[in-house]
Amino acid sequence: MPVVFSYCEKCKARIAIELPADIASRHSVFPFAYTFIHGNPPHALIIYLDQTLTERGHEVSDIHGIDSDTSPPPPEQITIKAETAQDSTPTSQSGRMVPRLIESLDQFRVSTNEFRILERCDGQRSIKEIAEELGIQFFVVMRILLDFQKRGAVTIEKRI
Protein backbone atom coordinates (compact mmCIF):
# COMPACT_ATOMS: atom_id res chain seq x y z
CA MET A 1 0.00 0.00 0.00
CA PRO A 2 1.32 3.46 -0.86
CA VAL A 3 1.99 5.94 1.93
CA VAL A 4 1.60 9.71 1.58
CA PHE A 5 3.00 12.17 4.10
CA SER A 6 1.15 15.39 4.86
CA TYR A 7 1.29 18.06 7.55
CA CYS A 8 -1.66 18.58 9.89
CA GLU A 9 -1.85 22.16 11.15
CA LYS A 10 -4.12 21.15 14.03
CA CYS A 11 -1.77 18.43 15.34
CA LYS A 12 1.33 20.39 14.33
CA ALA A 13 2.74 17.11 13.06
CA ARG A 14 3.65 15.29 9.89
CA ILE A 15 1.15 12.49 9.29
CA ALA A 16 1.74 9.24 7.38
CA ILE A 17 -1.40 8.21 5.51
CA GLU A 18 -1.64 4.68 4.15
CA LEU A 19 -3.71 4.59 0.96
CA PRO A 20 -5.42 1.70 -0.82
CA ALA A 21 -3.16 0.32 -3.59
CA ASP A 22 -5.65 1.08 -6.37
CA ILE A 23 -6.76 4.53 -5.17
CA ALA A 24 -5.45 6.46 -8.22
CA SER A 25 -7.08 4.08 -10.70
CA ARG A 26 -10.49 4.69 -9.08
CA HIS A 27 -10.45 8.33 -10.20
CA SER A 28 -10.60 9.93 -13.62
CA VAL A 29 -10.35 13.58 -12.54
CA PHE A 30 -7.32 14.93 -10.71
CA PRO A 31 -6.59 16.16 -8.18
CA PHE A 32 -9.01 14.13 -6.07
CA ALA A 33 -9.73 14.54 -2.36
CA TYR A 34 -8.90 11.89 0.23
CA THR A 35 -10.10 12.36 3.80
CA PHE A 36 -8.10 11.00 6.74
CA ILE A 37 -9.66 11.24 10.21
CA HIS A 38 -7.28 11.21 13.15
CA GLY A 39 -6.34 12.99 16.38
CA ASN A 40 -7.96 13.75 19.69
CA PRO A 41 -10.39 15.38 19.35
CA PRO A 42 -10.94 13.71 15.98
CA HIS A 43 -10.57 15.97 12.95
CA ALA A 44 -10.21 15.47 9.21
CA LEU A 45 -7.11 16.04 7.14
CA ILE A 46 -8.28 16.41 3.54
CA ILE A 47 -5.50 15.94 1.01
CA TYR A 48 -5.73 16.57 -2.72
CA LEU A 49 -3.73 14.03 -4.72
CA ASP A 50 -2.73 13.87 -8.37
CA GLN A 51 -2.45 10.68 -10.45
CA THR A 52 1.05 9.96 -9.07
CA LEU A 53 -0.30 10.36 -5.51
CA THR A 54 1.64 13.58 -5.02
CA GLU A 55 -0.09 15.96 -2.65
CA ARG A 56 -1.29 19.11 -4.43
CA GLY A 57 -2.90 20.73 -1.40
CA HIS A 58 -4.53 19.98 1.92
CA GLU A 59 -6.87 21.38 4.52
CA VAL A 60 -8.01 20.50 8.03
CA SER A 61 -11.63 20.34 9.12
CA ASP A 62 -13.18 19.88 12.53
CA ILE A 63 -15.72 17.11 12.86
CA HIS A 64 -18.90 18.03 14.65
CA GLY A 65 -20.98 15.43 16.46
CA ILE A 66 -18.08 13.17 17.49
CA ASP A 67 -17.10 13.20 21.15
CA SER A 68 -13.40 13.37 21.96
CA ASP A 69 -13.89 10.19 24.04
CA THR A 70 -15.16 8.34 20.99
CA SER A 71 -12.54 6.84 18.74
CA PRO A 72 -12.89 7.63 15.03
CA PRO A 73 -14.33 4.97 12.72
CA PRO A 74 -11.90 2.55 11.05
CA PRO A 75 -10.15 3.89 7.89
CA GLU A 76 -12.14 1.56 5.61
CA GLN A 77 -15.36 3.33 6.61
CA ILE A 78 -13.77 6.74 6.22
CA THR A 79 -12.55 5.94 2.72
CA ILE A 80 -15.98 4.78 1.62
CA LYS A 81 -17.64 7.90 3.02
CA ALA A 82 -15.07 10.22 1.44
CA GLU A 83 -15.32 8.59 -1.97
CA THR A 84 -19.10 8.58 -1.88
CA ALA A 85 -19.09 12.30 -1.15
CA GLN A 86 -16.56 12.94 -3.92
CA ASP A 87 -18.38 10.92 -6.54
CA SER A 88 -21.83 12.27 -5.78
CA THR A 89 -23.43 14.59 -8.29
CA PRO A 90 -23.67 18.26 -7.29
CA THR A 91 -27.12 19.51 -6.42
CA SER A 92 -29.39 21.04 -9.01
CA GLN A 93 -28.54 24.42 -7.47
CA SER A 94 -24.94 24.17 -8.74
CA GLY A 95 -25.97 24.98 -12.30
CA ARG A 96 -27.33 28.32 -11.08
CA MET A 97 -24.35 29.45 -8.98
CA VAL A 98 -22.45 31.98 -11.11
CA PRO A 99 -19.09 33.41 -10.01
CA ARG A 100 -17.86 36.81 -11.12
CA LEU A 101 -14.39 38.26 -10.66
CA ILE A 102 -14.69 41.60 -8.85
CA GLU A 103 -11.05 42.28 -8.02
CA SER A 104 -7.92 42.30 -10.16
CA LEU A 105 -5.76 39.20 -9.68
CA ASP A 106 -2.61 41.34 -9.60
CA GLN A 107 -2.58 41.42 -5.81
CA PHE A 108 -3.13 37.67 -5.40
CA ARG A 109 -0.71 34.81 -5.72
CA VAL A 110 -2.51 32.12 -7.71
CA SER A 111 -1.63 28.68 -9.02
CA THR A 112 -2.14 27.72 -12.66
CA ASN A 113 -5.37 25.86 -11.80
CA GLU A 114 -6.68 28.78 -9.76
CA PHE A 115 -5.90 31.15 -12.63
CA ARG A 116 -7.68 28.89 -15.15
CA ILE A 117 -10.76 28.87 -12.89
CA LEU A 118 -10.71 32.57 -12.06
CA GLU A 119 -10.30 33.71 -15.67
CA ARG A 120 -13.63 32.00 -16.43
CA CYS A 121 -15.50 33.87 -13.66
CA ASP A 122 -17.28 36.19 -16.10
CA GLY A 123 -20.71 36.31 -14.47
CA GLN A 124 -22.08 34.12 -17.29
CA ARG A 125 -20.72 30.61 -16.65
CA SER A 126 -21.92 28.63 -13.65
CA ILE A 127 -19.52 26.89 -11.30
CA LYS A 128 -20.70 23.58 -12.73
CA GLU A 129 -19.98 24.76 -16.30
CA ILE A 130 -16.48 25.95 -15.31
CA ALA A 131 -15.71 22.61 -13.64
CA GLU A 132 -16.93 20.65 -16.68
CA GLU A 133 -15.05 22.91 -19.12
CA LEU A 134 -11.77 22.44 -17.24
CA GLY A 135 -12.29 18.78 -16.33
CA ILE A 136 -11.91 19.53 -12.61
CA GLN A 137 -14.21 18.13 -9.93
CA PHE A 138 -17.03 20.51 -9.00
CA PHE A 139 -16.10 20.43 -5.31
CA VAL A 140 -12.47 21.41 -6.03
CA VAL A 141 -13.63 24.39 -8.13
CA MET A 142 -16.16 25.36 -5.47
CA ARG A 143 -13.54 25.23 -2.69
CA ILE A 144 -11.19 27.47 -4.68
CA LEU A 145 -13.95 29.96 -5.48
CA LEU A 146 -15.15 30.10 -1.87
CA ASP A 147 -11.59 30.84 -0.79
CA PHE A 148 -11.34 33.71 -3.28
CA GLN A 149 -14.78 34.92 -2.23
CA LYS A 150 -13.51 35.19 1.36
CA ARG A 151 -10.50 37.14 0.05
CA GLY A 152 -12.80 39.58 -1.76
CA ALA A 153 -11.81 38.68 -5.32
CA VAL A 154 -14.96 36.81 -6.38
CA THR A 155 -18.68 37.12 -5.83
CA ILE A 156 -21.02 34.15 -6.29
CA GLU A 157 -24.61 34.85 -7.26
CA LYS A 158 -27.59 32.67 -8.08
CA ARG A 159 -28.70 32.76 -11.70
CA ILE A 160 -32.44 33.24 -12.07
DSSP tag of 122: B
**pLDDT grade, residue 126 (50/70/90)?**
very high
Spans of all domains in the chain: 3-87, 92-158
Average pLDDT of span 119-125: 91
Q: Where are the alpha helices (DSSP H) in 27-153?
A: 75-87, 112-118, 127-134, 138-150
**pLDDT grade, residue 89 (50/70/90)?**
very low
Is the omega angle on the peptide bond into residue 20 within 30 degrees of 0, that is, cis?
A: no
2-25 residue pLDDT tens: 999 999 999 999 999 999 889 989
37-72 residue pLDDT tens: 888 888 888 898 988 999 888 888 887 654 444 444
Could you tell me if 39 and 31 are in contact, meaning their C-beta atoms sit under 8 angstroms apart? no
CA 159 to chain CA centroid, Å, is 24
For residue 31, give the nearest of 15, 7, 55, 4 by alpha carbon: 55
- Read off the pTM: 0.44
Could you tell me if 34 and 82 are in contact, meaning their C-beta atoms sit under 8 angstroms apart? yes
Does residue 130 carry a pLDDT above 90?
yes
Average pLDDT of span 142-155: 88
For residue 130, give the nearest of 145, 152, 151 by alpha carbon: 145
